[in-house]
A and B are shown apart, each in its own frame.
Chain A
Amino acid sequence: MRWMQSVAVLAAIVSAAGTARAQEIAQAEQIGGSGPVQINPTLSYVLFRLAQKSEMRFLRIPTQAERAKQEANRAFELVRAQSKNPDLTEAEFQLPPLELYNFINTTMGPVFDKQDGQYLYLIAVRPGSYVIYGHMWLSGPGDAETCFCLGTVQFDARAGQVVDIGRIRLNDDWDGTPLPPNPAGNRPFALIPPGPGIVPPGDRLQGVTITPARFHATGKMPNYFGALIDRLPPIPGVLDYDRDTVIDVASGHRLP
């Protein structure tokens, strides 16, 4: 599978603060072509819409088991490093954050479909929980990358299903009412969840289970890639803010 090959070549330079320059981020397996889609029951599929061909970055949240494995690996590597350098302390020893191995990026093409003036993208991913991390390039022009590090959403992607996350409105999309600028004067990105105004996918997914994403708010995340930082605007019933504190509306939790 393409994403597995891409993960294998991931190489990141990580500073002491855990910031990274990704040399290669896993490329999402994007569904293009025509005709009905053959669903692999071991994979999940994420459907989203953009008004312009562009690229997005998602983070698969590492599972508890993966974090436990990372901790065990860290302990092993620490012992090995200390055998070469006995003065090395545990605090000084750092491995790249597990998150850095769990990013995927889409590319401008292939596009799954075009409907109602929107480009539909369908990507095959490992089942799990995903965060919409930001607008970042893998093959595109590479200008003005933005992470939603100050507030975004996550959703579950289940095996054998298509999860519809709606439309990601880019900061330079020309339709609709312009959103108020952020504190640096830049227009924000926005998420429009499935619902009114979002046209369901057409015939190519006939007979396939399509689930509207159930979103939860995600608290602040590191600016791993040194991008411009911003946050998604509030989403009724999902995401809100008290100044810079992210609020998961459904649970009422204030997120760190």
Chain B
Amino acid sequence: MARCCLIVALAAIPVLAQPALGQAADPYDPPSLTFTPDAAAAQDFDKYFYFHRTETSFAQALADIMECDNFARATDFGMFSGSRQLMTRKANLRVCMGYKGYRRYGLPRAIWQSFNSDAVKPEPTEAERTRMVIQQARAASGPLPAQPELK
């Protein structure tokens, strides 16, 4: 999605209050990030992870994720395709977010897929990407993860 469209879409999102008791869950909230660690899931943590930084506002996390997503998605026009392209995209996300001081935490694939996408063709729709970016920013600026940081 062009950055301008994402910004327009984001402007329409209400600021992120937690839903009051009895209200329906906010569709822009990230999924529950708690899980019981197991060795099989941990083997894929290099592929399935999210970022978090303490003392970071949602707005800052959103700006950072969008900037890094832009660098990462530039690989769509690079020399690689398929799995190599995805690896490059994830490596670029790690580099960009890492230099910003974000730490990385592993997730089981199913949880990761509920607010991230590996799809190159077809790309997620604009609405899907908007939702996922907001969820990622909420996770990045939310409570400190219970799992140990990935190195």
C-alpha spacing A21/B94, complex, angstroms: 23
> Does chain A have a CB within 8 A of B78?
yes
B34-74 CB mask vs A (1 if < 8 Å, else 0) is 00000000000000000000000000000000000011011
C-alpha spacing A243/B55, complex, angstroms: 14
C-alpha spacing A19/B89, complex, angstroms: 14
A20 and B77 contact, Cβ closer than 8 Å, known pairs A183-B99, A184-B95: yes
> Does chain B have a CB within 8 A of A42?
no
Q: Is the CB of A244 within 8 A of B77?
A: no
> Does chain A have a CB within 8 A of B79?
yes
Q: Is the CB of B91 within 8 A of A244?
A: no
Give the secondary structure class of B's interface.
helix
Q: Is the CB of B94 within 8 A of A183?
A: yes
Number of B interface residues, CB 8 Å?
24
Of the residues A142, A229, A244, contact of B79 by C-beta under 8 Å: A142
A202-239 CB mask vs B (1 if < 8 Å, else 0) is 00000000000000000000111111111100000000
Q: A145-B79, A184-B92 are in contact. List 5 more A-B contacts (CB 8 A).
A: A19-B74, A145-B78, A183-B94, A184-B95, A228-B88
Provide a sorted-by-A list of 27 A–B residue pairs whose CB atoms are within 8 angstroms: A13-B77, A15-B76, A17-B3, A17-B73, A17-B74, A19-B76, A21-B77, A21-B78, A145-B79, A150-B96, A182-B95, A182-B98, A183-B97, A183-B98, A184-B91, A184-B92, A186-B91, A222-B74, A223-B71, A223-B74, A223-B92, A226-B75, A226-B77, A226-B78, A228-B88, A229-B92, A243-B99
